Amino acid sequence: MAESEEEVDVLVQRVVKDISNAFKRNPNIDEIGVIPCPEARYNRSPIVLVENKLGVESWCIKFLLPYVHNKLLLYRQRKHWLDREALVDITSTLLLLNPDFTTAWNVRKELLQCGVLVPEKDLYLGKLALTKFPKSPETWIHRRWVLQQVLQRFPAAACRSQQQHGEMESSELQRSPMLSDQLTRTLHEEMKVCCDAACRYPSNYNAWSHRIWVLQHMARGNIKFFHDELSSMRVWVSMHVSDHSGFHYRQFLLKELMTELSQAPSSSYASQNRPSTAPSSSPPHPSHTEANGELTGAEASGDEERQLNSATVLQLFHQELELCSDLIQSFPGHETLWSHRRHVFYLWHLWRRDLEHHCSCNGDAEAVYASSDSDLQAVGLQSHVNGQPGADEAMEVEGTSLPDPHDSKRLKRGVPLPDPPSLASEHGFVSGVLDSCCNHEQKRFAAAYKKWIDTVVNQAR
């Protein structure tokens, strides 16, 4: 083992070079790790590359980490000069071993801004660091900064907006699909990185917060992508029933879908799957009658779109509460599941109240009640009166897919939708749990949920 300072410098420089060469030999490395090895037993490099896995023998870290740390600090203090290639190698080595060293990420920001690095290379480095340190806050912060640079370089959202208004030149029109595809690949890659980090560290708040940030900045208004995320997360939360951060992510998705469907016409969902010839317009206000007492085509279409979107929201809440019921009964005694159910039911309560308020604020008195009753009946909200089921029985939900809001035949045929959530249905579910379950914690959570319904929700009505 090296003892003198000169020998240590030679050893560490060789290790840094070996790490750099490992990435050149295999650019598809997808995981890093530390190999327990108290001392160097063989005269060989401590860097081990097997398939796509990179390992560092632990004995060399006590020499390697202080060396690259001091080199970088001396460079920042302008006491030591490093060329750009050496800076890239030193910061890469340092961040793979200690990704929470902010100075190293700042140096890489400068290298990226001056064109020495490309955003994809830093995203790849951060992805590898997260395989060993999945909760590293500095890595997630730097990752968001890099993604902001990507968004500035590929403003796909701006391109789509210009394309809709016919303001793009022919060359820009040809380039827009390419930029959109690159952003889509980046978006899916971020979802995968976040999912891997969440699996490696339970309740990984940093990973889930980053995932929310990515959707807010790269998928805003994309109803289909939000619903695909909600559907794909069912399996994950079913396997991690105590991970509050994962359920909080589902609450975010549900709230975003509820907001988008309440604001946008139903045709916006279909327009994301097939090109439209004209930009979509917002649905009109609740209709007024013409002189002959009949609705115009635009007014009738607006009412239909509002009903279809409301039906979609109803289906989303029904499926989410059904998932909660299945998980609560299958995994008794998990407080996270009860907290999630509380949040979902309260979101439903607020959405229904806002819908009724919207109907009551438009049109004269007679039109208000007619429009309100029509909307509520169309989505099944009137099937419970004073907590009692209505005359029409709800059909069983098939699978977990989101109904296409563009399919108006469902409403025209009068096919019944699932019964909407209600205080009576929640009381019935809680009573069933209290009567059938022997788990003490489960009964305690059920009693607390029942008390919350009786106090908070009833007072908010």
Residue 73 contacts by C-beta under 8 Å, 6 or more apart in sequence? 103
Segments of 109-148 assigned E as strands: none
Question: How far is residue 200's CA from residue 31's CA, in Å, rounded to a whole number?
Answer: 12
Helices within 57-83 (DSSP H only): 61-76
Q: Which three-class secondary structure state does DSSP give residue 55?
A: strand
Q: Which of 31-40, 108-117, 153-162, 345-354 has the lowest mean pLDDT?
A: 153-162
Q: Which three-class secondary structure state does DSSP give residue 104?
A: helix
pLDDT digits (tens, 9 = 90+) for 378-398: 444 444 433 444 333 333 333
Q: What is the DSSP string of 298-358?
A: HHHHHHHHHHHHHHHHHHHHHHHHHHHHHHHHHSTT-HHHHHHHHHHHHHHHHHHHHHHHH
Is the pLDDT confidence value at 373 over 70?
no
Helices within 154-204 (DSSP H only): 156-164, 170-200
Residue 215 confidence (pLDDT): 96
Strand duo 47-50 + 384-385: pairing = unpaired
Q: Which two tokens stand for residue 356?
A: 């009724």
pLDDT digits (tens, 9 = 90+) for 212-261: 999 999 998 889 999 999 999 999 999 999 999 999 999 999 999 998 88
Instruction: Output b/e per residue, 229-243; b: 16+ Cβ within 10 A.
Output: bbeebeeebeebbeb
Q: Which two tokens stand for residue 428?
A: 């019935």
What is the C-alpha radius of gyration for the chain, rounded to an integer number of angstroms? 28
Q: Which of 55-64, 88-97, 340-349, 396-405 has the lowest mean pLDDT?
A: 396-405
Amino acid identity of residue 67, one-letter, is Y
Sign of CA dihedral 307, 308, 309, 314: positive
User: Which of 252, 438, 234, 243 minimizes the C-alpha distance to 347?
Assistant: 252
Share of the chain above pLDDT 70, in %: 71
Identify whether the C-beta of residue 347 lies closer than 8 Å to the C-beta of residue 258: yes
Q: Which helix (H) or strand (E) holds 210?
A: helix 205-218
First-to-last C-alpha distance (Å) of the chain:
74
Q: Which helix (H) or strand (E) holds 384?
A: strand 384-385
Residue 77 confidence (pLDDT): 85
* Helix 137-153, helix 119-132: angle, nearest 10: 160
Residue 321 confidence (pLDDT): 95
Q: How many CB atoms lie within 10 A of CB 57?
A: 21
Residue 288 confidence (pLDDT): 45
Domain boundaries, the chain: 1-98, 222-263+311-357+421-460
Residue 235 Cα distances to 214, 375, 391, angstroms: 21, 33, 35
* Helix 335-360, helix 440-452: angle, nearest 10: 20
Residue 334 Cα distances to 108, 242, 444, 445, angstroms: 43, 6, 11, 8
Q: Which of 40-44, 153-157, 190-194, 381-385 has the lowest mean pLDDT?
A: 381-385
pLDDT digits (tens, 9 = 90+) for 166-176: 444 444 444 45
Q: Which helix (H) or strand (E) holds 35?
A: strand 31-35
Residue 142's Cβ-side half-sphere holds a number of Cα atoms within 13 Å equal to: 29
pLDDT digits (tens, 9 = 90+) for 274-320: 333 333 333 444 444 444 445 555 555 666 777 788 888 999 999 99
Question: How far is residue 227's CA from residue 38's CA, in Å, rounded to a whole number?
Answer: 50
Q: What is the 3-state secondary structure (H, E, C) of 404-458?
A: CCCCCHHHHHCCCCCCCCCHHHHHHHHHHHHHHCCCHHHHHHHHHHHHHHHHHHH
pLDDT mean over 342-359: 85
Share of the chain above pLDDT 90, in %: 54
pLDDT digits (tens, 9 = 90+) for 107-151: 999 999 999 999 999 999 999 999 999 999 999 999 999 999 999
User: Which of 22, 30, 143, 13 minimizes the C-alpha distance to 90?
Assistant: 13
Average pLDDT of every residue of the chain: 79
Provide the 8-state DSSP code for 278.
S
Q: How many CB atoms lie within 10 A of CB 210?
A: 23
User: Which of 194, 227, 210, 230 minimizes the C-alpha distance to 148?
Assistant: 210
Strand duo 53-57 + 47-50: pairing = antiparallel
Q: Which helix (H) or strand (E) holds 151?
A: helix 137-153
Q: Which two tokens stand for residue 144?
A: 């968001």
Strand duo 31-35 + 384-385: pairing = unpaired
Identify whether the C-beta of residue 33 lies closer than 8 Å to the C-beta of residue 55: yes
- In the sheet with 53-57, reading across from the earlier edge strand, the strands are 31-35, 53-57, 47-50
